[in-house]
């Protein structure tokens, strides 16, 4: 199901955010996933806007997701961060999940950095490493650009070649190497959730070429590419996927691992922002 009057709702949301931001125009949109929200506390001169105060925005119900926009300076760039995100498993439609990405682009952000916690399917990966997304498999069964209203915002048919910007991926590797932060790169598979995957599903996903799996990101990336934003995706590998090395994932494990990797995550994202050229 799509949002009713998508353009009008985006117009209203844009007016509210522009009033809150008072002339501040973000260069980069930043989505902080499970356990990764503390990075927002490092944003200088922050302006906070709870999701519930923005027309068209849902309220985050996921564990540890604060559910607010934070605007300010980070790594020398003007950022608009989502401290938490919306998920399909919370009951939100694909367009409701994508809505804040389209809003960020309207406010000036031409680059999206989306982050999450993910399970490692690739057995060479280790828990606690970060994984740069090289490509994605959208297995949510949904696409935010379905319907007639998104077609009025940008062309309905668009290429997903290099959905994750090659230059930004190279930059992320270079920064990680400089900071001695362990990173992998691989194909990310997104599901609707909220149940974790079965071992049989994980074996199937591995055969498809997936290296990591979680319950977010794909719809955000489709929305970003729809309006021409360049995208960088980074996962914290918070657990081995179900059945890999006998793993049986839990939400508690995800947040416990994230807490141990907070400093390196913050250094990595700030380093990437600092090294990015303005667009």
pLDDT tens digit sequence for 104-139:
999 999 999 999 999 999 999 999 999 999 999 999
Instruction: Report the C-alpha gap between 238 and 134 in whole angstroms.
Output: 18
- Indicate if the pLDDT at residue 96 is higher than 80: yes
| 231, part of any domain | yes
Share of the chain above pLDDT 90, in %: 85
- What's the structural domain count of the chain? 1
Q: Where are the beta strands (DSSP E) in the chain?
A: 28-32, 44-50, 68-74, 77-83, 111-120, 130-138, 183-190, 212-214, 230-240
pLDDT tens string 211-254:
999 999 999 999 999 999 999 999 999 999 999 988 888 888 88
| 1, part of any domain | no
Other Cβ atoms closer than 10 A to 18? 15
Spatial CB neighbours of 19, under 8 Å, sequence gap ≥ 6: none
Instruction: Report the C-alpha gap between 212 and 210 in whole angstroms.
Output: 6
CATH code where residue 118 lies:
3.40.50.1580
| 198, part of any domain | yes
| 179, part of any domain | yes
* pLDDT for res 63: 75
**What's the domain range around 196?**
6-275
Q: What is the mean pLDDT of residues 75-93?
A: 96
pTM: 0.95
User: What one-character-per-residue DSSP string does 199-221 give?
Assistant: HHHHHHHHHHT--EEESSSHHHH
SS3 state at 91: coil
| 55, part of any domain | yes
Instruction: Report the C-alpha gap between 122 and 102 in whole angstroms.
Output: 32
| 142, part of any domain | yes
- Confidence category of residue 278, pLDDT binned at 50, 70, 90: low
Instruction: Report the C-alpha gap between 98 and 86 in whole angstroms.
Output: 9
| 89, part of any domain | yes
| 147, part of any domain | yes
């Amino acid at each position: 199901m799509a949002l009713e009057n998508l353009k009008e709702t985006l117009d209203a949301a844009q007016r509210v955010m522009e009033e809150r931001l008072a002339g501040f125009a973000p260069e980069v949109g930043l989505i902080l996933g499970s356990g990764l929200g503390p990075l927002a506390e490092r944003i200088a001169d922050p302006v906070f806007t709870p999701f519930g105060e923005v027309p068209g925005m849902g309220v985050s119900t996921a564990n540890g997701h604060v559910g607010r926009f934070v605007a300010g300076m980070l790594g020398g760039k003007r950022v608009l961060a989502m401290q938490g995100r919306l998920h399909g498993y919370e009951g939100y439609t694909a367009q409701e999940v994508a809505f804040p990405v389209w809003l960020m682009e309207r406010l000036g952000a031409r680059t999206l950095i989306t982050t999450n916690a993910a399970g490692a399917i690739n057995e060479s990966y280790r828990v606690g490493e970060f994984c740069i997304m090289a490509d994605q498999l959208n297995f949510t069964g949904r696409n935010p650009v379905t319907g007639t209203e998104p077609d009025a915002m940008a062309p309905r048919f668009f290429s997903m070649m290099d959905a994750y910007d090659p230059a930004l991926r190279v930059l992320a590797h270079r920064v990680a190497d400089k900071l001695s932060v362990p990173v992998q790169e691989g194909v990310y598979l997104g599901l609707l959730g909220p149940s974790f995957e079965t071992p049989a599903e994980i074996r199937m996903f591995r055969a498809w070429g997936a290296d990591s799996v979680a319950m977010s990101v794909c719809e955000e990336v489709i929305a970003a590419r729809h309006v021409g934003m360049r995208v960088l995706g980074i996962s914290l590998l918070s657990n081995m996927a179900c059945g890999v090395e006998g793993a049986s994932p839990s939400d508690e494990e995800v947040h416990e691992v994230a807490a141990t990797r907070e400093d390196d995550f913050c250094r990595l994202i700030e380093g990437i922002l600092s090294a990015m050229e303005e667009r």
